[in-house]
């Protein structure tokens, strides 16, 4: 079973790398969006599914990273340094917010993520002279090796694969086990001697780092930024993607991204009411597949979640 899975994954990855040979430029762009979204969803699920924290405003970290790159490059900074700067800025925001957030739990935690996140959005939206306000920043320069659409596609694919691999490793590390334990039962984690506040803070910082990476991936994909990418709606969307895919599985958010991006892409050709469609998908998923697509399938075939496999 394990062996078959590995071969299946290798086939999918190979196919993804070769996709530009057969698919048109529009399909390639949609696939890029899936990779950007999937990495962003994985970064959220790291704290949501594994850390048990109600992070309602993950988009902030994607947003500040993308803006950091755009603004740095716009002021004649080096493109590569800009790409490194993005995730660092995201981590900075994650750390400052995290210090306040870990003092709270449950819905209070969630409310504070929303409040702090919207504060950042408001600053970006209002500070016209610096951020371009509601217009955002169009046509952001990219390095020379990302000049064709195929190159940009391969870049988002590689960033996704490397980041997903790292996240998977972290979830299966000693820290990952303690993060999951803290997420499930904070009181018990404390009584085995775990400093749960520090563990949750480390989880938030790592999550903001990977969200920051997805912000760079987003700039490569769209070559522009606007305040929409750090508005609460963006965070709600990614939350829905995680829930629909399944938050107690590693691959859930990835599958959720594939399903939701494809459905919204197709639906947007016929209607403007995408939020309505997302709502229906969420409703159906919560009612009939409370553990998400991947969670329900795994339950059905009696499989254990991937992260649990390690310690059998």
Residues lying near another protein in the complex (CB under 8 A) are found at 169-170, 173-178, 180-181, 184-185, 187-196, 199, 202, 206, 248, 304-305, 308, 310-312
In the complex, least distance from residue 192 CB atom to another protein, rounded to whole angstroms: 4
In the complex, least distance from residue 1 CB atom to another protein, rounded to whole angstroms: 15
3-state secondary structure labels for all residues of the chain: CHHHHHHHHHHHHHHHHHHHHHCCHHHHHHHHHHHHHHHHHHHHHHHHHHCCCCCCCCHHHHHHHHHHHHHHHHCCCCHHHHHHHHHHHHHHHHHHHHHHHCCCCHHHHHHHHHHHHHHHHHHHHHCHHHHCHHHCECCCCCCHHHCCHHHHHHHHHHHHHHHHHHHHHHHCCHHHHHHHHHHHCHHHHHHCCCCHHHHHHHHHHHHHHHHHHHHHHHHHHHCCECHHHHCHHHHHHHHHHHHHHCCCCCCHHHHHHHHHHHHHHHHCCCCCCHHHHHHHHHHHHHHHCCCHHHHHHHHHCCCCCHHHHCCC
In the complex, least distance from residue 166 CB atom to another protein, rounded to whole angstroms: 8
In the complex, least distance from residue 219 CB atom to another protein, rounded to whole angstroms: 27
In the complex, least distance from residue 242 CB atom to another protein, rounded to whole angstroms: 16
């Amino acid at each position: 079973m394990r062996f078959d899975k590995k071969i299946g994954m290798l086939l999918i990855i190979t196919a993804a790398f070769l996709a530009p040979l057969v698919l048109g430029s529009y399909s390639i762009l949609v696939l890029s969006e899936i990779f950007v979204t999937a990495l962003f969803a994985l970064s959220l699920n790291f704290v949501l599914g594994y850390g048990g924290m109600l992070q309602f405003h993950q988009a902030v970290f994607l947003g500040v990273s993308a803006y950091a790159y755009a603004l740095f490059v716009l002021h004649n900074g080096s493109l590569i340094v800009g790409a490194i700067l993005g995730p660092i800025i995201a981590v900075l925001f994650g750390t400052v917010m995290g210090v306040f957030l870990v003092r709270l739990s449950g819905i209070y935690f969630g409310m504070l993520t929303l409040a702090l996140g919207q504060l950042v959005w408001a600053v970006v939206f209002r500070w016209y002279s610096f951020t371009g306000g509601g217009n955002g920043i169009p046509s952001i320069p990219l390095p020379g090796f990302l000049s064709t659409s195929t190159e940009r596609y391969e870049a988002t694919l590689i960033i996704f694969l490397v980041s997903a691999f790292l996240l998977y490793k972290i979830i299966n590390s000693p820290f990952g086990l303690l993060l999951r334990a803290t997420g499930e039962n904070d009181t018990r984690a404390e009584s085995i001697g775990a400093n749960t506040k520090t563990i949750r803070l480390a989880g938030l910082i790592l999550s903001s780092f990977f969200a920051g990476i997805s912000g760079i991936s987003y700039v490569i994909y769209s070559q522009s930024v606007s305040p929409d990418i750090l508005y609460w709606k963006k965070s709600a969307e990614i939350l829905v993607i995680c829930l629909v895919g399944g938050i107690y599985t590693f691959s859930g958010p990835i599958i959720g991204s594939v399903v939701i991006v494809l459905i919204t892409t197709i639906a947007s050709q016929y209607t403007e009411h995408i939020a309505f469609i997302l709502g229906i998908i969420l409703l159906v998923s919560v009612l009939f597949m409370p553990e998400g697509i991947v969670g329900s399938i795994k339950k059905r075939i009696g499989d254990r979640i991937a992260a649990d496999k390690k310690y059998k």
